Amino acid sequence: MTEKIINVIGAGLAGSEAALTLSKAGKKVRLFECKPIMRSPAHHSDDFGELVCSNSLKSDVLSTASGLLKAELRLLDCELLKIAGEVKVPAGSALAVDREEFSKAVTERILSDKNIEVVHEVVDDFDKDGFTIIATGPLTLDALSANISSKLGSGLHFYDAAAPVISGESIDYNRAFTADRYGRGDGDYVNCPMNKEEYEAFIAALVTAECAVLHDFEKSEIFEGCMPVEIMAKRGADTLRFGPLRPVGFRDEAGVRPYAVVQLRRENTAGEAFNIVGFQTNLKFKEQERVFRMIPALAGAEFLRYGVMHRNTFINAPKTIDRHFATLAYPDVYIAGQLSGVEGYVESIMSGLVAARSIIARLDGKPQPEYPRTTVIGALCAYLETPNAAFQPMNANFGLLPPCTEKIKDKTAKKLYYSEKSLKDLKNAEF
């Protein structure tokens, strides 16, 4: 009987982790990578696992979601985190690496692996009849994108224009009220009013805040698709008051209409996370914290996900893949990395590992690995397959986890409780 070869398309973070994980289990892998034949506009090296935006894999502290996710992945023997540990550089409590050394080490590991055949080729299509992991990233080439969309039937998004998501428990409800405009609906929105002075101070800060620098290839596409809140504000002081912050249809307890109203919409049914409606933004992350916390009800806001606006090809995950990253149309075809709808370096690594472990289990005739919903891995996987009319990519955050059943007031203590439970549940899981 001929041994099955698993095709992995793309040698970024997800594809590299998938290939190494499969090989470690004794599986044969054919890894397709378009470099050096072709590079995306964002890439500069011919090495694998290239870190494009930053050298940081975020915090290692267990009171952060990124720290917990890395701890979970280490329990699962994640290969790329091992490599990251070998080339890390001083960065306080964060895991940061020498970017060149990291990519070089990933490349060397893969090229020296007897179970991995590397094929330098521009892939325009995929075989729907064999085990394949598509991990071509946020700049997936047009021809392959077209075939993914055509064969999987769910369409693709080509840029990410998402508003910030904040923790529900960080909202000051003494300065907010729950209601729908004109009293229609069941009070699905949390409304954060501002008076004239508060609004004018907010606008002044918003129009002078520092924005992230976009790549040249991103600018026209993104701004045509969705207008950033800071650009709207620059068109006139009252632009937002006649747009997403319009106060019409609302009255306070005294029957007075607020000067402006920022609306928050639930990201999940439990109300642990809320989207700031209409606040898609290109502000730098620290600037988002500084400026958006000027909204009185959000003075203590905890950001679960920052607003982003960048070129990002991704699937409509709930309509396309299951919690193991297998496509619904072709169960032997998997989609991993940012193309799958996760956001971030470590999240991409996680998706490659989960996809690979799923294939290993199936080839070995074993049950699919099920990651506890109390883990960040399990919560992210659940997020991707949960129906969502306005799906947006997501990073690791505590808002994805089930509500804490213990009465813990201290925020750090509560997060450590989440982490302890997560790691305990993962250790006890049967794989």
Q: What is the CATH number of the domain that holds 217?
A: 2.40.30
Mean of pLDDT values over 2-31: 95
Residue 282 domain boundaries: 165-306
Q: Do residue 118 and residue 243 come from a single domain?
A: no
What percent of the chain is modeled with pLDDT above 70? 93
In the chain, how many domains are there? 2
Q: Do residue 48 and residue 141 come from a single domain?
A: yes
Q: Do residue 247 and residue 132 come from a single domain?
A: no
Quick check: is 281 in a domain? yes
Domain boundary among 306, 332, 364: 306
Q: How many CA atoms lie within 13 A of 332 on its CB side?
A: 12
Q: Does the structure show a pLDDT above 70 at 215?
A: no
Amino acid 224: pLDDT: 46
Domain boundary among 306, 331, 357: 306
Q: Does the structure show a pLDDT above 60 at 217?
A: no
Quick check: is 420 in a domain? no
Quick check: is 215 in a domain? yes
Amino acid 24: pLDDT: 97
Q: Do residue 240 and residue 97 come from a single domain?
A: no
Q: Do residue 202 and residue 330 come from a single domain?
A: no
55/320: higher pLDDT = 320
Q: Do residue 272 and residue 331 come from a single domain?
A: no
Three-state secondary structure readout of the chain: CCCCEEEEECCCHHHHHHHHHHHHCCCEEEEEECCCCCCCCCCCCCCCCCCCCCCEEEECCCCCHHHHHHHHHHHCCCHHHHHHHHCEECCCCEEEECHHHHHHHHHHHHHCCCCEEEEECCCCCCCCCCCEEECCCCCCCHHHHHHHHHHHCCCEEEEEEECCEEEHHHCCHHHCEECCHHHCCCCCEEEEEECHHHHHHHHHHHHHCCECCCCHHHHHHHHHHCCCHHHHHHCCCCCHHHCCCCCCCCCCCCCCCCCEEEEEEECCCCCCEEEECCCCCCECHHHHHHHHCCCHHHCCCCEEECCEEEEEEEECHHHHECCCCEECCCCCEEECHHHHCECCHHHHHHHHHHHHHHHHHHHCCCCCCCCCCCCHHHHHHHHHHCCCCCCCCECCCHHHCCCCCCCCCCHHHHHHHHHHHHHHHHHHCCC
Q: Do residue 237 and residue 337 come from a single domain?
A: no
Mean of pLDDT values over 314-337: 95
Mean of pLDDT values over 119-146: 90
Q: Do residue 82 and residue 140 come from a single domain?
A: yes
Q: Do residue 143 and residue 16 come from a single domain?
A: yes
213/194: higher pLDDT = 194
Range in 64-68, 209-213, 233-237, 298-302 with the lowest mean pLDDT? 209-213
Mean of pLDDT values over 369-373: 96
Q: Does the structure show a pLDDT above 80 at 268?
A: no
Quick check: is 184 in a domain? yes
Q: Does the structure show a pLDDT above 50 at 382?
A: yes
Q: Do residue 239 and residue 194 come from a single domain?
A: yes
Quick check: is 380 in a domain? yes
Quick check: is 426 in a domain? no
Quick check: is 413 in a domain? no
Q: Which amino acid is at 94?
A: A
Q: Do residue 275 and residue 289 come from a single domain?
A: yes
Amino acid 185: pLDDT: 62
Mean of pLDDT values over 7-29: 97
Predicted TM-score (pTM) above 0.85 = no
Rounded Cα distance, 65 and 24, in Å = 27
97: domain CATH number is: 3.50.50.60
Name the average pLDDT for the chain.
Answer: 89
What would the pLDDT profile of 36-68 be if each residue is shown by its tens digit? 887 766 667 889 999 877 788 999 999 999 999
Domain boundary among 306, 328, 358: 306
